[in-house]
Amino acid sequence: MNSKAILGISIGSIALLAILVVIGKPSNSATSSPNPVASPNSTLKADEINFDFGEISMTKGNVSHIFTVANTGGEPVVVSKLYTSCMCTTASIMNGTEKVGPFGMPGHSGIPSIKVSLAPGASTQVEAIFDPAAHGPAGVGTISRVVILENSAGVPFKIGFTAKVIP
């Protein structure tokens, strides 16, 4: 092989590696955002966007928190999907008196389409359940998780929580 061919293969390999790095870079998608922020364009609002469980023991079982989500707009909003950012977390939503879920992380559990309608001014409750033992001993430390509500009001609505997991 001559030196031009080797140089060409080297440059091509470097370019391919650079493309793979750019493609593989995490995006700012719903599942990768550790700390949700209120979406200024959404008519969905929550009583709180982030909840801090504080210090929790992985040996004492699951913890949960209920978020109240309201439709502050003038049109009905339909929540079509509910899912979480990690397999250690599940979430359910109230549809009137019926609890819909729990749903987990895409790829780890089925995420079916749902139809929970919120009239203007109405609110619902979303329960997030975290299993601090799900990751085993490697899961000790500070965590951030997100619950995502895909809806007809625009961008997915995110609420989340943090905790410091101890053995």
Q: Decide if 5 is inside a domain.
A: no
CB count, 10 Å around CB of 104? 21
Q: Decide if 16 is inside a domain.
A: no
pLDDT number for residue 31: 37
Domain that residue 160 falls in: 44-166
Q: Give the residue ranges of the chain where pLDDT is below 70.
A: 1, 3-41
pLDDT number for residue 110: 76
pLDDT number for residue 92: 97
Q: Decide if 89 is inside a domain.
A: yes
CB count, 10 Å around CB of 130? 23
Q: Decide if 112 is inside a domain.
A: yes
pLDDT number for residue 144: 97
Q: Decide if 29 is inside a domain.
A: no
